[in-house]
Structure 1
Amino acid sequence: MTTATLEITTMAHGGSGIGRLDGRVVFCPGAIPGEVLEVELVETSKKSLWRAQPITVIQASEHRVPHIWPEADVSRPWEQRAGGADYGHIALGHQRELKTAILQDSLRRFGNLEGELIDNAIVQCVPGDDERGGLHWRTRVTLHANEAGQLGPYAERSRTVIPVASLPLASQAIGDSGLLRTKYVGATTVRALDTGGSGVRLVVDKQTPADIVEHVGDVEFSLSDHSFWQVHQQAPAILSAAVQRAIRPERLVPSAENLDLYSGVGLLGHALASISPERLNLTAVESDELATKYVGQNLDGIADVTAVSAQVHRWLETAVQGVGPQNADKWRQATVILDPPRSGANTEVISSLADLGVGTIIYVACDPVALGRDAGLLAQVGYELVFLEAWDLFPHTHHMESIATFIRT
């Protein structure tokens, strides 16, 4: 075992602190900027980038607190630490300060953007989360079973199952369900869902999908227990409201070629349609066929929706080929919701949206680095960032959610 003393100078997106040894950048989880730690060097094959794991904290930050999850604490051997709460040792307020700095840096460094919108961006706290200590917000939990059938998350950067006695981020209903007291011998993965209208459900491995119901305010959404749904119990309402704030009403044309890309079951498309002055024309594109079948049902009565099961970049390539004098204006008037996976929208998607000439893009991002990169690409093809909002929808983890509006200049 090779050990070293490492001073942490900044935080990287991904949950690791950054230090330097002999001119090399060293990533170390479980750390906070300003701390000095004894670490084990665990990956040293690359010339300029190493990885380490904390052994002991020599000089602690004033923002260090007891970890919310004993099974993830630095006092345990690093191979036996549960993954999934990589900010759990940091005071909640400082978590948001770190996330805010990462968001701003991502937009400046990867997007080459500057201005008051970025300077004033703040990752906001979900109402009530601080009062709950940032706990019990997670309505979807994925666990894995070891050979004995005990459930737990994987260790960080590993496929080793860490059996746990508690799930501090899981909703109270999941915590009270007895999930961890049951053994699942022969199973690989168990997903627990605390649904807004169907109670707590378990999905074991590739169990046959079943219909469930979620509620956002007084709106009911139908979906499958295999469908994507935002995991924070307040996230669907917060993101729906944020998307509505991100829309410029004077630019929303109901009859335009409006799009909901990576639509899921239509949550954000519903938010868009709900503030349209007239029944909205909307095409929802989603690669998950199981999710697509619910879109029409969930937007029934407020939108003339065409739900398409397709890869977004391929559907857009086809749409570009169909642009002509007869529909060019409708594309220029279009409002597009872009809610890609964590990897972001690729160059092909950005290029196609520019070729279509869409007027407004509302980008919902769960990764600030991907947002920064794509914001830079959008700027290069003539779009201006005019709205930015961010939320801490994942307390005690490095994740965040951002909503950004780009208009064609």
Structure 2
Amino acid sequence: MTELILKGKQAKAAALVLAQAKTKAKNEALQSLAVSLVANTITILEANEKDLATASDNGVRDAMLDRLRLTPERIVDIAEGVKQVVALADPIGEVVHMWKNEAELTIGKQRVPLGVIGIIYESRPNVTVDAAVLCFKTGNATILRGGSEAFHSNLALVRVIRDSLASSGFPADAVQIVEDTSRDTAQQLMKLNAYLDVLIPRGSARLIQAVLENATVPVIETGTGNCHVYIDSEAQQEMATKIIVNAKASRPSVCNAAETLLIHEAIARDFLPTIASRLRAENVEIRGDEEVASIVSDVIPATELDWETEYADYILAIKVVPNADAAIAHINKYGTKHSEAIVTDNYFTSQKFLQQVDAAAVYVNASTRFTDGFEFGFGAEIGISTQKLHARGPMGLNELTSTKYIIYGEGQIRE
């Protein structure tokens, strides 16, 4: 019996237990887990240091090292995310709609767990906890397959999770990790239809595309983040500057960071020098079209590839556009349907942008960096779905459920 089949069988058995678990018991287990994570900070950080050392030796750039790095503060934040999930309503068992039909049957639509969820992800060890906690709260067992770059961190976190769940009376196999990080094992996981109910990839465009092309298990696509900020002709300069600097430079390696700035031609000559100066103070490399290069010195000429690229680094492409319609057209052509923002004081322009931009999250006068389960009040997220079936945007508790119909009768038969 292969490792994956064994884990699949164990996950199926655990899922049956979780599906019947009471909300109070699940919440108490998660509270204990939050305490355990902080209590095991030293062990977790020691494991993380091994991954950071290996990544540094392999020449991984600083922005990607930041995705991998854990600190005492980040572990506290992860634990706070667990507590926030505890505070959220348990969707399992909720009857979202109930009615009577002509035969006087009472029909209800009830939320139920998906079952066993597989997660394939890269780099960010916080995903390990986010995924485990959200799946557990919604009565789902999970099989995690993280990347080799975060192997020791993920293993340490899963050990804490499993020990904590077992101490709370739940099956440790509710959360499992695949220790073989080879591509062959990932391919096998993508085809584990007998045991997985859904597979969620979270990581680079290459990873997500590989899962979409090879998986026979149903997939919920989480998208790459080629995100844009459009500064309209009726934007406040200081607000616009703060938003683009935050969207690009606060954490450039994450999927909700801005990769392209679009700016209205009417304000480009006034706004761009200030914006460029502030971005360069954050060590952001600027790549621009001809109009940008005529306004700002030492700009690297942008190519078609730049408009398509999720840099995940201190690089920003800038393009001058004639109006909001051109900005919307550019975003809908090159964006990845993740997060898009407009900065404007014009209500009607903002409404056009909200209605016509095709993305999971569309902002008016705010940074794209808020597209995050924690920021949306979900406690954590399983990923940012950019597809339109089943779930879209940050995937919290409700998005990890399915539904079934429950029907009450009084002896009715169909004539």
Normalization by structure 1: what TM-score? 0.31
More helix by share: 2
TM-score, length-scaled by structure 2: 0.30
